[in-house]
């Protein structure tokens, strides 16, 4: 079923989130789609007896990867705007919850919207505390979450780098990479996937157990088979959605010297203001 949802929704991230909802592990989903996709999604929802309502605005984006768990306030525009933009859809098993999500988004009530989407209170609090600062940047919370967590070795279920590469287990930013509530949810999602598609669960677990380098301007990097020895992180292969010097260097050297979670040395260079994480 997950593979079928993936084909219809065009993304594993969305397919997993909707699968959690279908199996009562999530009350409401909120997805962005382009207008041309909406009819197909409506059909999928009616086939699965789900209610779908659409936003009365759209969001202009550089790319769909920029879409965030909550809202991108600055980019909201009228549905009549001729430029292509994403329309939000709110999906739930009962009509009231989907309508309420739409209402809460229109009211900019991030707290109640987060609750309705099934996010833990601690993670909603963190998001609300950081929204003003992060909305001026990429609207991305990886570095604030990392800076709110001690160390750089974390449980693989909380690896949220998959959101950039379409293998995301946890559909929101945890307040910390050790948040017990987020970890409980992530483990329940992985257990559900294991029950229905064990091969996919194994594949996901392997993809999540990787090193991650996060940069604000040069992309996000995944490090396969990471092994930490002394201050060095050795890995088999680096991949990224962004080609460039850093990716070439990572694959040339096959290891980085971690100074702390925000600084590392590769070859002759030191990179700063980045995030280095290892998920195991």
Looking at beta carbons only, is 6 or 163 nearer to Zn ion? 163
Q: Tell me the sheet residues that pair with 59.
A: 76, 86
Which one among 6, 156, 163, 175 touches Zn ion, defined by CB under 5 A? 175
Q: What are phi and psi of 61, to 5 degrees?
A: -135, 155
Nearer to Zn ion, 44 or 123 (CB): 123
Rg of the chain, C-alpha, whole Å: 19
With the C-alpha atoms ordered 68, 237, 207, 122, is the resulting torsion angle positive or negative?
negative
Q: Which of 117, 135, 129 is nearest to 29 (CA)?
A: 117
Where does this chain touch Zn ion (CB under 5 A) — which range of 73-81, 182-190, 212-220, 222-230?
182-190
Select 149 or 240, whichever has its Cβ closest to Zn ion.
Answer: 149
Binders of Zn ion among 192-231, rule CB under 5 A?
Answer: none
Q: Which is nearer to Zn ion, 121 or 236 (CB)?
A: 121
CA 257 vs. chain centroid, Å, equals 27
Partners of residue 37 on adjacent β-strands: none
> C-beta of 258: minimal distance to Zn ion in Å?
25
User: Judged by CB, which is closer to Zn ion: 188, or 251?
Assistant: 188
Residue owning tokens 């099934």: 118
Range in contact with Zn ion (rule: CB under 5 A) among 91-99, 134-142, 173-181, 192-200: 173-181
Least Cβ distance, residue 146 to Zn ion (angstroms): 14
The helix/strand/coil state of 34 is: strand
By CB under 5 A, tell whether 170 contacts Zn ion: no
What string marks each residue from 60 to 99 as x (binds Zn ion by CB under 5 A) or -? ----------------------------------------
| Cβ-based burial of 143 (10 A; exposed 0-12, middle 13-18, buried ≥19) | buried
Using DSSP's 3-state secondary structure scheme, residue 236 falls into: coil
- For Zn ion, the closer of residues 175 and 207 by Cβ is 175
Torsion of CA 188, 88, 11, 121, to 10 degrees: -20
Binding mask 110-129 for Zn ion (x = CB under 5 A): ----------x-xx------
Instruction: Point out which residues bind Zn ion (CB under 5 A).
Output: 120, 122-123, 175, 179, 181-182
């Amino acid at each position: 079923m997950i593979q079928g949802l993936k084909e219809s929704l065009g993304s594993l991230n969305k397919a997993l989130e909707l699968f959690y909802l279908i199996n009562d592990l999530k009350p409401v989903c909120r997805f962005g789609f382009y207008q041309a996709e909406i009819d197909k999604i409506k059909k999928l929802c009616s086939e699965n007896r789900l209610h779908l309502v659409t936003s009365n605005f759209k969001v202009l984006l550089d790319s769909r990867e920029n879409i965030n768990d909550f809202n991108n306030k600055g980019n909201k525009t009228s549905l009549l705007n001729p430029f292509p933009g994403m329309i939000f859809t709110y999906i739930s098993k009962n009509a009231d919850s989907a309508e309420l999500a739409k209402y809460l988004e229109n009211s900019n009530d991030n707290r109640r919207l987060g609750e309705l989407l099934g996010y833990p209170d601690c993670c909603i609090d963190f998001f609300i505390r950081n929204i003003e600062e992060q909305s001026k940047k990429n609207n991305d919370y990886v570095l604030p979450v990392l800076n709110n967590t001690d160390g750089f070795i974390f449980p693989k279920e909380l690896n949220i780098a998959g959101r950039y590469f379409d293998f995301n287990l946890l559909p929101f930013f945890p307040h910390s990479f050790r948040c017990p509530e987020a970890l409980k949810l992530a483990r329940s999602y992985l257990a559900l996937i294991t029950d229905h598609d064990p091969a996919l669960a194994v594949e996901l677990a392997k993809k999540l157990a990787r090193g991650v380098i996060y940069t604000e301007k040069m992309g996000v990097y995944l490090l396969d088979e990471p092994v930490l020895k002394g201050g060095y992180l050795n890995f088999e292969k680096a991949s990224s959605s962004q080609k460039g010097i850093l990716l070439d260097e990572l694959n040339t050297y096959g290891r980085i010297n971690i100074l702390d979670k925000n600084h590392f040395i590769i070859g002759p260079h030191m990179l700063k203001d980045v995030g280095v994480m290892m998920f195991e």
